[in-house]
Structure 1
């Protein structure tokens, strides 16, 4: 009888152990193809992120920096950037290009970085001069639980698809946080992924819903 009870106890511990492991959040682990010309910049960004707080995971800082540079490089090719940022806006406005406004850069980068499932760093949406032709959008990375103004901004648009980063508090644009828009972008992305997984429709139209002005 004692032997049977012991076997049952071992079985319970074994199965609950697996259940607990399954319930733990799985962190993203990968390496990214950072362009050779961006390797030093990616390392510099990782160093800046790591100094945001002693609690920042150095591995996460490097993962985010590499992912950001690799993603922006890929988007630069997809967006077919050339000329100046304003000229690209002109082409998009007149329907000659589909994407490349500053908020679109930030949306795509946010979705890519969110997939990393970071625990020591937070992704925040920053906007300056919202609602008018001077509006600009970026991502701001902070240590977990730290103020928005303590973070490092990531701006893809101003240098024509070459990632700019630096302390948001030092930037010439007066950035403020818009957490509601960040949630909207991620929720919309999740809904699209779910729809694409369940409904395969030939020549499906893409419907864009955004509260952004489209000027930057």
Structure 2
């Protein structure tokens, strides 16, 4: 997660924080969000359909063994989920500014790992047979940590996968081959298993990650494993 130094949350003067709150309220963020039309969690927006089709084509091209129908389902679910989360998280401004809002309690969720968790679980519910989901992370355990979902053909090496990520792009889904990304990602199979386990157990406790505006975090649970 491209972010500010860990002390950024504590270094912001109180007056500036109050000013930010005033700006948020005066900008009418809440009313704007309230006006958004409801939609099905699996509905793909019309302007996202061409992009979802392109993603499906690229996922199917990962291997001749990939079922095109499954690739289509993943692509459509990914775009629909990103749209839903964008509304649920009330995305406003830059990714770092959203971290600020989450840190100070103006938003309940919205850190990059939370985007990845929710997208991961939405796609995992498809019970994929020819595609496989992986948890990717860059700069793990630091204030620059970023997490993403990586999709490969089943049994394919992590490095040959496709990144699905929305936090860096203001809540809009972006995808690219892992090896073409500007950051170097590594797989964390333990964290993927933990996400699945916590979801299955319906636990509500939040894990800790090294992200901007989480000054209370000195080490992540992931990095200690």
TM-score per shorter chain, which class? 0.7 to 0.9
Q: For 2:98, which of 64, 88, 94 is the aligned residue?
A: 88
Runs of 4+ in 1 over 4 A off after TM superposition: none
The partner residue of 2:209 within 200, 207, 212 is 212
2:184 pairs with 1:174? yes
Work out whether residues 116 and 147 of structure 2, in 8 Å CA contact, stay in contact via their aligned partners in 1. yes
* Partner residue in 2 for 1:137: 147
1:190: which partner in 2?
Answer: 200
Q: Could you give the per-residue CA deviations for residues 8-58 of structure 1, whole angstroms, max 9, x where no partner exists?
A: xxxxxxxxxxxxxxxxxxxxxxx9310111111100110110000000000
Alpha-carbon distance in structure 1 between the residues aligned to 2:212 and 2:126: 29
Q: Name which of 53, 61, 64 aligns with 1:51.
A: 61
Query: Higher relative CO (CA 8 A, sep ≥ 6), structure 1 or 2?
Result: 2
The gaps in structure 1 that reach 5 residues or longer are 1-30, 196-205
1:129-163 Cα deviation digits (max 9, x unpaired) = 00111110000000011110100000110111100
Cα distance in 1 for partners of 2:81, 2:93 equals: 21
Aligned-residue CA RMSD in angstroms? 1.4
How far, CA to CA, are the matches of 1:58 and 1:137 in structure 2?
27
Q: 1:39 aligned to 2:49?
A: yes
Contact 2:142–2:211 (CA under 8 A) maintained in structure 1: no
Q: What TM-score does the superposition give when structure 2 sets the normalisation length?
A: 0.74
* 2:80 aligned residue: 70
Q: Where do 5+ consecutive residues of structure 2 fail to align?
A: 1-40, 214-225
| In structure 2, distance between residues paired with 1:64 and 1:214 | 28
Aligned length: 173
Q: Which of 1 and 2 has greater Rg? A: 1
TM-score calculated relative to the size of structure 1: 0.77
Q: What's the secondary structure of 1:181's corresponding residue?
A: helix
Q: Secondary structure at the match of 2:168?
A: coil
Residue aligning to 2:116:
106
Task: Measure the CA separation in 2 of the matches of 1:214 and 1:110.
Answer: 19
Match for residue 17 of structure 1? none
- For 1:49 and 1:72, the matched residues in 2 are separated by 17
The whole-number CA distance in structure 1 between the counterparts of 2:129 and 2:136 is 20
Secondary structure of the residue that 1:83 maps to in structure 2? coil
Matches of 1:68 and 1:181 in 2, distance apart? 20
Q: Structure 2: how far apart are the matches of 1:72 and 1:170?
A: 22
